[in-house]
Amino acid sequence: MVTFGVIGAIVMALIPFEFIASEFDWAEDPGEYPENGTQQEQQEWNEQKELWDLQQVTYNLMIDLEEEKPVQLALSSVLTLAGIIAIIQLAQQKFNGFALAFVWLVLTLLSKIFMTIRYNEMMNDINALFPDETGQQMGYQTLYSLGGEVMCNTILIALLITCAANSRPKTIEDSGFHLHHHLTKAPEQPPKD
């Protein structure tokens, strides 16, 4: 997961959102509504206005994603560092590696929840353009996404706790069944002639 986090951060850093936003010029501003125009002119204006609004919302989304890069890269850096430290500690078979891995998983879960909520907030303008298509679906999509993250990380945390519990040294308390008796042999006697 640490490796995929690094790859995701690199891809996020390399996507030129600002350049993509500058290339959005496929729609023209329709101008004022032709109140005295024909029905066809008004319908064409409505279609052009929808395209213009979609272009503007998409442009703003690309700018928001560009502005979000520092937050995403900072979170990825912290998570990568915590993950690498946990991996090193676990590879050295130090028990505090489990605690670091637990902290890393919790931080990963919290950052994914945070970023999911942030990205869904960014999509609100696009969702407003298509209320019939995206109305309740976006709420469900957010819940499914958050639920999936929580379930996945809960399973990983449970596995981590199981591994931590099984890797502790086993101590058996002394009891009558576990006492080590040192039997002394009788001194060897020379054979009788």
pLDDT (tens digit per residue) in 99-153: 888 888 888 888 888 888 888 887 777 777 776 666 667 677 778 888 888 898 8
| More confident: 132 or 10 | 10
| 130 within domain boundaries | yes
Share of the chain above pLDDT 90, in %: 1
| 190 within domain boundaries | no
Instruction: Give the total number of structural domains in the chain.
Output: 1
For residues 165 and 169, give the distance between their C-alpha atoms in angstroms, rounded to a whole number.
Answer: 9
Mean pLDDT across the stretch 11-30?
77
| 45 within domain boundaries | yes
pTM recorded for the entire structure: 0.67
Range scoring the smallest mean pLDDT among 19-28, 53-62, 102-111: 19-28
| 186 within domain boundaries | no
| 189 within domain boundaries | no
Q: Are 48 and 30 in contact (CB under 8 A)?
A: yes
Q: Which domain holds residue 54?
A: 2-167
For residues 99 and 83, give the distance between their C-alpha atoms in angstroms, rounded to a whole number.
Answer: 11
For residues 71 and 64, give the distance between their C-alpha atoms in angstroms, rounded to a whole number.
Answer: 11
